[in-house]
Structure 1
Amino acid sequence: MGGPRRMSSALLLPFLLALPADTANTTGYREELESSLVLVHAVATGATGKLCVSYRNGQLRAPMHVTRWDSARARADLAASLLHQLGLDSADVLEAVSKSLVMGNQNSERAVGARAIPLRADTKVKNATGWQRYGTAEPVPVFYPPLEQVPVTDYPWYESRHKTSQQSFKFMPSPIPDAAMKGWWSFPYFSCDAERWLLSYTVPVHSAREQEGVVSLDIDISNLEINQCEMPTNDNQIYSFHGTHKCHNETTFCEYKPNREVGVRHAGWARGSYACRCRDGYYSTHHPNGFNGSLVEVAYQEYKENSGLENWSEPYQCLQCQPGCETCRGPEPCLATYNWPFRISLLVISVSCAFMTVLLTIYTRHHRRVKVFRVASPVFLSITLLGCACMYMEMAAIFPVLDRYSCIATKWTRHLGFCITYTALLMKTWRVSLTYRVKSAHKLKLTDKQLLQWMAPILLIMLVYLGTWTLSSPPDAEDITDNKGLRFKQCTYNWWDHSLAIGEILFLLWGVRVCYRVRHAESLYNEARLISIAIYNIFTVNSLMIAFHLLILPRAGPDIKYLLGFIRTQLSTSTTVLLVFLPKVLRVVRGTGDTWDRGARARGVPASTSLNGIGLVPDEPPDLYRENDELKEEVQKLAAQIEFMKIVQMEMHNRHLRPRPGGYFSASSPHVTATAVNISQDSTEWPGPV
């Protein structure tokens, strides 16, 4: 016999609203459901000896939705109306009416049992006609209850006329108030005679005097299922049992496990057809696939029968995973551990370096009139130190467990510090390059103010880029795993990072090119060469660190990555500070800060030449002769050449003078030819910048 048609769970709402509030929401209602589950378990396990001997029927106190059998109910109501009109005296009429209820083309219209029972005034059975039909077999007549006796109250479909349906515990409340129903639906019950789970609908037949009889039919509901989990999986389930599982809600959740074994009768009518699976963030070592619901139900029943077992659910609880684990299968950690003493030591060193650069900035400003600082432009030296301090603070930004704000601080300190530091150094080197390439008598003059005007747009572009990045797509922290599979936070890398990295690489390549072009330039205190070494160093360090991160240690842990960041900062920033500032500080400490670089003067570097490419700011009244030594030398050479050319032209092209054959100024003289060639070559050399 096929199951009834499927029903939408949304149709259950009116029925649930119709349940009495003081019944559905009280402990008594829950206890009735638990008693019903005990009965279901007894039937499923075959422990029905006492039930079938003493009562013959076992009724559940579990309301259910009955709309799916409205067609069968309507036929029973029609049969009661016919008997009301035709009377209950004719046996043929009773037989025809009751037999019609078990006939039908569809399962939702056909009952497995039906009966029409006229009663006397003293409620004794006057006549009884009933039929049973299971599956596609022919209807079989049944004869009960016995004639001339009062029907026993054990029948789940019968109630004395002295009780109304509202007073009877056998019938469910009407699912819809004021519904067009003439009878009542019983609660589900197990029939020992039919060995099936049934649901009965009873309609009283009224006359002018009092109740004269009943018409009743039985619906086979053995194909329904009991799902004790919260969410239904289909419409073929008894909704009263939803949420009656015994899983520990904090650590586990209920998963319905229907019994699909072939040959098992009433497979859906079983208690504990579920598994208590661990929630995300919890685990069970011995039960990775969940706890068997049947065992949980048995433990709960023992707890109810023996009130001393307060911790009955402890064996069926899952253990919490280690911190940070969304899912786990054991007590193993999921998060990488941070060696905080080690990280704090590196942070202290980095912050100390940043503090020292600030002190060095103050020191530089204090000694800005000392020649060793003055020739190197104190303004750009201070800007360089501030950029270095900013790069040192990157170690403070990546020190804690990373989040969005620390990632934003990391990007700003790293890239803005890089831009400030090496733009200031390369501006000075670029000025040396321009000055070194000029071969005319006039010296190219670029002041600090002019270089700052060139530097400002570069810093503005970096600020606009970082600001746009922060506002439109701020960098965030993402979970990555190390070589042991442990998770930790790392700042995301996307096309914003890649674009900025490409720009910085191109900027460094341009810096390397500038430094290469001034490799032979002479400067006081050898500063141009030291800055070039610092540029080569930062380019090499960044290239090696990229190789370490991407190729050698791509899945390093958080402490190793923090160490690599510390090494990169020290090799790049600290080396730059030592190369550029340590010689100057040592000279000031030794008292030679105002002494000219004797090595540079010995190599022929004029006293007026500095790294700035312009003369020193004089510390005494201007001396034009001392300021223009090179210019006077060039003018004297040019005047001598002009005077010599004048004499040669006068001797060679004056018709009043007859040169002696073989003389110094004769046309055939090799001295004149060679001198003319040399003068011609000297006169064609371009005195401007290359």
Structure 2
Amino acid sequence: MSESAPKKQTLEKGTSGIDIDLQKVDIDQCPNEPSGELNVFANSARCKNSTTRCVPISGLGFRRGSYKCVCKDGFYFPDTKAPNKFYNGSTIEVKYREKIDGISDYYEQNFECLPCAEGCDTCEDPSPCVLTLNWIQRSVVLAVSGVIMCGIPALIWFTVQYRDVKVLKAASPVLLRIVLLGAFLLYCPLVVSYFEVSVVTCCLRFWFREIGFSISYGALLLKTWRISVVFRVRSAQRIKISDTDLMKRLLIIVFIFGTYCAARTMAGMPRVVQGKHASGLKAFQCSSDWWDHSAAIAELLFLLWGIRLCIVVRKAPSEFNESRFISWAIYNETLLSLFLNVSMIFLQDPFPANPDLLYLVIFIHSNLTTTVTLAFLFGSKVYMVLKYRGKNNEVQHTTMMSKGGGSRHTYSNKPTMNTDTITSNANSTFDRYAEKSNADGESESLLEKDIQEEFRRLYMQLETLKHRNMKIGNRHLQHKLSAMTEAAQKDDSPEESKPCTPNMNGKRVIINLDDFKESTRL
């Protein structure tokens, strides 16, 4: 049996192929999305990233330019009438290749979007999205305010130049300058509000308003308070409230307002709020919250206290009618501030008002209150000083005594025998004494006024004691009081026999009791 030969093994080789239609395969040249997928063509698009962004287009196959460049937010397509507001990627690729080959610079000059108008998040054309400020109107308003503010340094110079004139000396020139300082600060919100709204301008406007109000009207109310304290005194004890005492109290008032402003700045900083105007455009303004409402209520309460003081002193004698002018200024500020603050609330809700209108309201508020207050306070003083300028003593001796807002009174020199009541007798005697003092040829100093006021109070107390003791039958005590009163009076002796009048601080003090003689007789 023969052995069979081994079989030879053969290896056969083969190939396999896969046909892929590249026209159906898309490539993505846009920047990688945060998906983590590998993309070798990513970020190869030629969109100008400063104003446009890449959006891939599917279905264009395996070729460059399978994307479009659309405008980013805040930019718009230059051709506003084009049906497709984007740049085609294939066109961009062609123009980019021409740039590389040095054929054309079309790519450099095109394929960009234009910025929207200021304040627009998105837009389709260059139309504004925010109300445009009327700078011409605002400039005119600011110029008028600047002219008015220039008058404040002139008034300060006036109070310094004529500080020794009686019409200014009686009104305390130092306090008048403090009022002018507060008025200057009250005009500053107009300057700040001229510029576009920001957190800084909102904060400065609040500070200027509150500090200026506390200084200006605080000084006026303290002057009225001093008159009310002196007027209500019924004893012979002299009440002396100096300008220094008033300034100490004014510092306390300003400190309270300043503390409130500091607390508001730290805890509730004013913000710039955005709203949509009735026209559909955006409008920006300072926020108005309970901090602002609390400040307005505090101002109103402060002015109501001032109105109470004005009612108390309405019948008090006032040189040059100053207390009456202060009362008018306080009434005016109270009514207008209340009306304009309510108006501002309606102007801001439900739609914010035109910023130019709000600026005009601030201008009207400042001039109808601060300017009118300065006119009341300084108008008559400037008129009298200019009228009698060059006449040595006329303006020094021209005095208007006002009772309850009435005009100047004229009294006869004949003695009055009516002694029905102590009050009518004392008031009549004081009126005749005031009229005689006005006709005197020498200027009175503040010390002389204090002495005469103290003597009037002492005389009224002596009259009260005399009539009280007459009623209970103590005739001997009445004779003693009458003798004391007559001894204090000036005799009707010839001029050479009159005793010398006392001198104080180098000035002659004249206490004329001629008009009191008849009222002491029974």
Q: Scaled by the length of structure 2, what TM-score is found?
A: 0.71
What letter is aligned with 1:234?
A: S
**Unmatched runs of 5 consecutive residues or more in structure 2:** 1-7, 389-393, 402-406, 412-426, 436-442, 478-522
The aligned amino acid for 2:74 is G
CA drift of 1:572 comes to 0.8
Q: In structure 1, what is the equivalent of residue 364 of structure 2? A: 567
Aligned twin of 1:665: none
Answer yes or no: is 1:430 the counterpart of 2:225: yes
Is 1:402 aligned with 2:197? Answer: yes
Name the counterpart of 1:556: 353
Highest CA radius of gyration, 1 or 2? 1
Contact 2:30 2:67 (C-alpha < 8 Å) held by counterparts? yes
- Give 2:32's aligned residue: 231
Cα distance between partner residues in 2 of 1:486 and 1:195: 54
Which has the higher mean CA deviation after the structures are superposed, 308-317 or 378-387?
308-317
What is the deviation of 1:347?
1.7
The CA distance in 2 between the partners of 1:620 and 1:329, in whole Å, is 80
* 1:639 matched to 2:434: no
The alpha-carbon distance between structure 1 residues 268 and 502, as it changes in their structure 2 partners (threshold 3 A), is farther
The answer on whether the counterparts of 1:300 and 1:312 sit within 8 Å (CA) in structure 2 is: no
Look up the match of 1:417.
Answer: 212
Counterpart residue number, 2:400:
597
Q: Which residue does the alignment assign to 2:13?
A: 128
Shift of 1:644: 3.5
Secondary structure in structure 2 of the residue aligned to 1:241: coil
Q: Confirm or deny: 8 A CA contact 1:364 1:382 kept in the other structure.
A: yes
Residues in 2 aligned to 1:409 and 1:90: alpha-carbon distance in whole angstroms: 102
Q: Which amino acid aligns with 2:75?
A: Y
Structure 1 unaligned regions, length at least 5: 1-88, 92-125, 130-143, 146-154, 156-190, 198-221, 260-266, 610-615, 651-690
Deviation at 1:567, TM superposition (A): 0.8
In structure 2, relative to structure 1, the CA distance for the partners of 1:335 and 1:567 (3 Å cut) is same
| Equivalent residues of 1:355, 1:389 under 8 A apart | no
Structure 1 pair 329–625 and aligned structure 2 pair: CA distance change class (3 A): closer
Q: 1:629 to 1:508 in 2, by over 3 A?
A: closer
Letter in 2 for 1:227: D
Could you tell me which residue of structure 1 aligns to residue 295 of structure 2? 500
| TM-score, normalisation: structure 1 | 0.55
Give the 3-state SS of the residue equivalent to 2:295 in structure 1: helix
Q: Is the 8 A contact 1:275 1:290 kept in 2?
A: no
| Alpha-carbon contact 1:398-1:562 (below 8 Å) kept | yes
The partner residue of 2:341 within 525, 546, 558 is 546
Separation in structure 2 between the aligned mates of residue 279 and residue 623 of structure 1, nearest angstrom: 81
Question: In proportion to residue count, which structure has more helix?
Answer: 2
1:336 to 116, 131, 151: 131
Q: Equivalent residue for 2:497?
A: none
Provide, for residues 582-639 of structure 1, a one-character-per-residue CA deviation record: whole Å limited to 9, x for no partner: 0111111122532111544549675779xxxxxx972686895675134314412431
Q: 5 Å matches for 1:226-625?
A: 226-232=27-33, 234-236=35-37, 238-256=38-56, 274-284=67-77, 285-286=80-81, 291=86, 295-301=88-94, 304=97, 308=103, 310-311=105-106, 316-442=111-237, 444-470=239-265, 474-487=269-282, 489-552=284-347, 554=349, 555-591=352-388, 592-594=394-396, 595-597=398-400, 599-602=407-410, 618=445, 624=451
Compute the displacement of 1:322 (Å).
2.0
Give deviations 1:475-529, integer Å, cap 9, x for gaps.
3544445443444543333443333233222222222232233334342222222
Distance 1:512 1:305, change over 3 A: same
Task: State the Cα deviation string for residues 319-364 of structure 1 (Å, max 9, x = none).
Answer: 2212343432211012333333332222222222222112212211
What amino acid sits opposite 2:114 in the alignment? L
Change (3 A) 1:625 1:253: closer
Contact 1:388 1:573 (C-alpha < 8 Å) held by counterparts: yes
Contact 2:130 / 2:283 at 8 angstroms: preserved in 1? yes
